[in-house]
Amino acid sequence: MNQLDTLQIFQRVAELASFSGAARQLGLPNATVSLAVQQLEQMLGTRLLQRTTRRVQMTPDGESLYRRSKELLDDFESLRGMFRGGDQSLTGRLRVDMSSAMAREVVLPALPDFLDRHPQLEIELSASDRRVDLVSEGFDCVLRTGALDDSSLVARRIGHLVQVNCASPRYLARYGVPHTLSDLARHRLVHYRQMLGGRSPGWEWHDGNQTHFVPMAGNITVNSTETYDAACQAGLGLIQLPLVGAAKRDLLAQGALVQVMQAYRPAPMAVSLLYASRRHVPARLALFMDWLHDLILPLTAEGA
């Protein structure tokens, strides 16, 4: 077994946190996987994985090796790709992150067709509303909405998502329809915070030059887009969100959600792809990011 094979085995064990799981995926005996990691540790003179009866996790040295070996193997895959014909031969695993709403309403419905065209690829999709650390958590790319603050990463802007203000018919029947900013004093907002323990700044609106906030009352604060939507449909308050995916448009068309305060909407929300700066972007990552870009662009103000 050569050293590249050994590194690939180590990566799979680290990603799955399981020797037996890695063995099943790689089609190797458990003993072969265990021996490969032991030989790698002996060669490097350090412990890479902590093994207990209940779990396997990387040591600090193991995390460092995982990041560096991922770059090395990606570069080697790109080198091999120079001598292959077409995209059908692309292989390997991609770890990506995006919001749960983007995954559910846009990416997952289109993903079967993409994987049918590239059956050798494997996608690990993290769909949550927290901001992951792309480098330390081993992601290849993240699809991020909103302002960017990761100066060490490469940002590829796709466009801007139009944002709308919504309420449910149940809510409007109880509190009435707001028309002006002063009306908001008699209304409630579903507050959204990625980290619970506080409230949002309030109602957000953009006058064409700058963003303003109007503090608002509200009985509930949530930290996920799914519960944010559900709280609105339950009549718990007004929400402000990007208009993404057919599901949201269907709710508006069917009257399950109603647009309000259209003259006082938030500014369009930027949507971007982020990835680590490298000399060579692996062919599978470049292909996947191109696909995501083309999938999302028609949903933006620039692609409409």
Residues 20-36 pLDDT 10s: 888 887 788 888 888 88
272 vs 5, 105, 186, 287, CA distance in Å?
Answer: 34, 17, 36, 16
The per-residue pLDDT for range 221-237, each reduced to its tens digit, is 998 888 998 999 999 99
d(CA 18, CA 138): 17
Parts of the chain belonging to CATH 1.10.10.10? 1-79
Parts of the chain belonging to CATH 3.40.190.10? 84-159+270-304, 163-259
pLDDT more than 90, % of the chain: 38
Q: What is the pTM of this model?
A: 0.71
**Residue 140 corresponds to which amino acid?**
D
Would you tell me the crossing angle of helices 3-16 and 30-44 to the nearest 10 degrees? 110
pLDDT along the chain (304 residues), means of 10: 80 84 82 88 88 81 84 69 57 87 91 93 87 78 83 86 94 96 96 81 92 94 89 95 76 89 93 80 88 93 70
The domain 163-259 is classified under which CATH number: 3.40.50.720, 3.40.228.10, 3.40.50.180, 3.40.190.10? 3.40.190.10
Q: Could you tell me the strand order of the sheet in which 141-145 lies?
A: 121-127, 92-98, 141-145, 269-276, 153-161
Give the CATH number of domain 84-159+270-304: 3.40.190.10
The domain 1-79 is classified under which CATH number: 1.20.120.790, 2.115.10.20, 1.10.540.10, 1.10.10.10? 1.10.10.10
What is the model's pLDDT at position 195? Answer: 77
